[in-house]
Structure 1
Amino acid sequence: MAGLRPETPTPTEIKQHQKSRVLEISFDNGDRFELSYEFLRVFSPSAEVRGHGIGEEKLQIGKRDVDILRIEPVGNYAIRPVFSDGHDSGLYSWDILHGLGSHRDELWQAYLDKLKDAGASRDPAECPELPPAPAPSCGIKR
């Protein structure tokens, strides 16, 4: 079985390019895709990203600089990337990877449009300065 559907092509090679942050995937049907780490993180098949139903998706922001620290095989049907932001719950089956590669350009444009509509950014958000905490009260009444 290739992925979760018998007709899905099976990867013949998966290469991690750390410098360019690209995962290169070649399939047994001749298809070859280059998927950025950011793209893979944004389109993680995990419930954390996709939610548990329609309309529960969570827009991923600030993922431009994300890295993949390592990739773990899951049986003979998927991989589990461990991302530098701590995300590690997405299982990318062969059919999911092939689908992401086949629809990369339109998925990416839809994502960029959603970011724009939300006024959000691909760049990691900088934490705003927090106001100083008030001095602790020692319980003495004056």
Structure 2
Amino acid sequence: MAKTKGLYFHNTRRGLMLRCIVHFSNNKDDSVFKLKKLDVEVGIYLATRGKSRRRGGKYFYSNLEVLANKVSTFSNRKKISTNAISESLTSLDKNNIIEYKKDKPNNPEKHKEKRGIKITLFDKDHYKKTLKNL
């Protein structure tokens, strides 16, 4: 019988990231910052972006409103406020699921010189260590 890719999804970067998100959203321990429903939706949105072969995902958005519109269409909501998106990204950053910062883009020809939002997904070794430390 031939092996399929689906059997190993839990060991990929995306699978480990989703496992971290689910663990932090279901955690009843008060010492860890618990993820809310919108935090989980933003995390799933970021995990499903990009190509599967890429080692680490790096994304740049010109402002929070662009990301809020993309997440709202992804999660089938009417509208998400920029404050809620900012809180979600901050909570994902506090739990070491993503790295979130406001900075200038690496590619100024494409995004101009305006400041925007940089989101970086970690490699799968980081997510393995995070799950092991829980």
State the TM bucket, normalised to the shorter chain.
0.3 to 0.5
Higher relative contact order (CA 8 A, sep 6+): 2
TM-score after normalising by structure 1: 0.32
More helix by share: 2
Return the index of the structure with the highest Cα Rg: 1
